[in-house]
Amino acid sequence: MGVSNKFRQRPFDKKRLEAFSDGVFAIVMTLLVLELRLPHIADPMDPHKVWDAIIEVMPVFFSWVVSFFFVALIWLHHHSILKMSTGADYGTMWINTFLLFLICLLPFPTKIMGEYPMAPIIVMIWGILFSAATFVLTWFYYYNVKYYLAPTYDKKTAMKNVRFTVLGGPTIYIAAALLAFVSVYISYVIYALVPLLYILPLDKEIEASKKPH
In 3D space, the residue among 195, 93, 194 whose CA is nearest the CA of residue 148 turns out to be 93
Contact 101, 111 (CB under 8 A): no
Alpha helices (H) in the chain, listed in sequence order: 3-8, 14-33, 47-84, 90-105, 107-115, 120-148, 155-167, 169-179, 184-193
What residue spans define the domains of the chain? 9-210
Residue 124: pLDDT band (50, 70, 90) is very high
* pLDDT tens string 38-83: 677 777 777 777 787 778 778 888 888 888 999 999 999 999 999 9
Angle at 37 between CA 34 and CA 38, to 5 degrees: 170
Indicate the range of 6-10, 26-30, 70-74, 85-89 predicted with least confidence. Answer: 6-10
Question: What is the structure's pLDDT at 105?
Answer: 92
Residue 5 has pLDDT above 70, yes or no: yes
Contact 23, 75 (CB under 8 A): no
* pLDDT tens string 158-170: 999 888 888 788 8
* pLDDT tens string 171-207: 999 999 999 999 999 999 998 888 888 887 777 777 5
What is the model's pTM? 0.86
**Euclidean distance between CA atoms 202 and 194, whole angstroms:** 15
Residue 36 has pLDDT above 90, yes or no: no
Question: What is the structure's pLDDT at 3?
Answer: 58
Over residues 86-96, the mean pLDDT reads: 94
Question: What is the structure's pLDDT at 212?
Answer: 53
Average pLDDT, the chain: 86
Residue 121 has pLDDT above 70, yes or no: yes
Question: What is the structure's pLDDT at 213?
Answer: 46
Question: What is the structure's pLDDT at 94?
Answer: 95
